[in-house]
A = this chain, B = another copy of it.
Amino acid sequence: MQFIILFGGNSYEHEVSIVSAITLKKELKNISHFIFLDSINSLYLIPNNKMTSKHFSTFAYKKDSKIEFCPSGFLKKGFLKSEVIRGIVINLVHGKMGEDGMLASIFNFYDIKFIGPRNEACVVSFNKEYGKVYAKYRGVNVLNYEALQNTTKIEPNLINHLASKLPLIFKPARLGSSIGISIAKNENEIAYALDSALEFDDTIIIESFIPNIKEYNLAGALIDNEFKFSIIEEVNKGEYLDFEKKYLDFGARNLELDSKNQTKTPSDSKDLIKNQFKNLTQDSTQFLQSHNESSTNKVKKKEANISEELKNKIKESFKKIYLNCFEGSLIRCDFFVIENEVYLNEINPIPGSMAHYLFDDINAILNKLATNIPKVKNIKIQYKYISKIQAHKGK
């Protein structure tokens, strides 16, 4: 079995996806091809030895072979003959396109086998509002929240209403990183937080902000009707787990400082976002350096020191989320624990570098998962209905 890693995409997490693919290259043995989706939806076949971040940031990839989707794979056109590249795709496009269902739909249309969330799974995890509704429906706790639309007028009543629920965290509904996330601890921070989040999405989620909340991550997949779980990791806010987590932590911390030290008004939000990006980048540099080091030294994460009972509760919540929706994908769920009760924070349907750092043997997991890919049901069309009408009409 050979894997094709598809990465990139027109997403705020485009660059994260590149780093994720470079990382997975070191971890997964049987990768035959790397396919890069650039920011304008063109596909390029990247030679294995060119899988460096510079190859993309300098646009050198544009000299590589341009390919396109075709039935059962990717078409590489040649002067004399064309070739169809086939294999099991690992969808490693984080955020928009990869996690919103677009690529899942395209793979199914072209009959390309892939590891990753199917379309319905994407919609209930990429959009945080639908994610909340879905989790509650599946019997998994979520923190209290409200969803607001960009059509909502920011009036004194709304501000007063939100002020009665402080502290709050404001998140754009459809972004996987920290962009647009703000914390409001007092009333005069609310208008800015609303404004900041609404710049990035038509829908925003406002939820209770609980400082120092206990957080646990668990990755897994359903393989041969059994769940294969990673270790459960306790998120230590002082270290960085993976890209999304990193972004989120950082953005939150950063904005806390910002709101303490500055008196921002909504009109200043673009500056603040610029700062966020700047700080995010500096911090990410640090992260990537430590991350590269850890992948070289094979430093794996340690199982959280919690009771078996709590571990089981976390696993049961994961199963409720996953079953009958996320089949075919390896996902990571991030949970909060408050007074021994488990709450879903968020679903990462395509975790950074497939959360390899949480598994003993990511090769075995992905190779087995590749044999458990849901089939698309094809319907046989026989024109019985139209033929009957025609017969009736004497045509």
| Most B Cβ at <10 Å: residue of A11, A203, A324 | A324
Inside 8 A of A395's CB, which chain B residues have their CB?
54
Which residue of chain B has its CB nearest to the CB of A387? B57
Contact B56 A379 (CB under 8 A): no
Complex alpha-carbon distance, A56 and B10, angstroms: 38
Contact A130 B120 (CB under 8 A): yes
Inside 8 A of A63's CB, which chain B residues have their CB?
none
Contact A324 B379 (CB under 8 A): no
Interface residues of A in 341-382 (CB under 8 A from B): 378-381
Contact A105 B96 (CB under 8 A): no
Contact B119 A100 (CB under 8 A): yes
Which residue of chain B has its CB nearest to the CB of A390? B54
Inside 8 A of A137's CB, which chain B residues have their CB?
133
Complex alpha-carbon distance, A134 and B129, angstroms: 11
Contact B109 A102 (CB under 8 A): yes
Complex alpha-carbon distance, A123 and B131, angstroms: 13
Interface residues of A in 2-57 (CB under 8 A from B): 10-12, 14-16, 18-19, 39, 41, 53-54, 56-57
Inside 8 A of A383's CB, which chain B residues have their CB?
15, 56-57
Task: Pick the contact of A390: B16, B57, B149, B392 (CB < 8 A).
Answer: B57
Complex alpha-carbon distance, A280 and B386, angstroms: 12
Task: Pick the contact of A119: B119, B133, B134, B281 (CB < 8 A).
Answer: B119
> Interface segment, A206-214, A282-290, A331-339?
A282-290
Contact A386 B151 (CB under 8 A): no
Complex alpha-carbon distance, A81 and B381, angstroms: 34
Inside 8 A of A101's CB, which chain B residues have their CB?
101, 105, 119, 123
Least CB distance, A149 to chain B, in whole angstroms: 5
Complex alpha-carbon distance, A74 and B12, angstroms: 28
Q: Check A388/B105 contact, CB under 8 A, given A379-B12, A381-B10.
A: no
Least CB distance, A322 to chain B, in whole angstroms: 13
Interface of A is mostly: helix
A239 within 8 A of B: no
Least CB distance, A290 to chain B, in whole angstroms: 12
Inside 8 A of A379's CB, which chain B residues have their CB?
10-12, 14, 39, 96
Which residue of chain B has its CB nearest to the CB of A104? B105
Complex alpha-carbon distance, A378 and B386, angstroms: 43
Least CB distance, A62 to chain B, in whole angstroms: 13
Complex alpha-carbon distance, A73 and B384, angstroms: 32
Inside 8 A of A387's CB, which chain B residues have their CB?
57
Which residue of chain B has its CB nearest to the CB of A132? B137
Contact A392 B289 (CB under 8 A): yes
Contact A102 B119 (CB under 8 A): yes
25 CB < 8 A contacts A-B: A15-B383, A15-B385, A18-B386, A39-B379, A53-B386, A53-B389, A54-B386, A54-B390, A54-B395, A56-B383, A100-B119, A101-B101, A101-B123, A102-B105, A103-B105, A119-B119, A120-B130, A133-B133, A133-B137, A149-B323, A281-B385, A281-B388, A289-B389, A289-B392, A289-B393
Residues on A lying within 8 angstroms of B by beta carbon are 10-12, 14-16, 18-19, 39, 41, 53-54, 56-57, 71, 96-97, 100-106, 108-111, 119-120, 123-124, 127, 130, 133-134, 137, 149, 151, 202-203, 277, 280-282, 284-285, 288-289, 323-324, 378-381, 383-390, 392-393, 395
Please list the 3 inter-chain residue pairs (A to B) with the smallest Cβ-Cβ separation, ordered nearest first.
A105-B105, A57-B383, A39-B381
Beyond the given pairs A14-B379, A41-B110, A101-B123, 10 more chain A to chain B contacts, judged by CB atoms under 8 angstroms and listed by A's residue number, are A10-B379, A15-B385, A16-B385, A53-B389, A123-B124, A133-B137, A151-B324, A203-B324, A281-B388, A285-B392
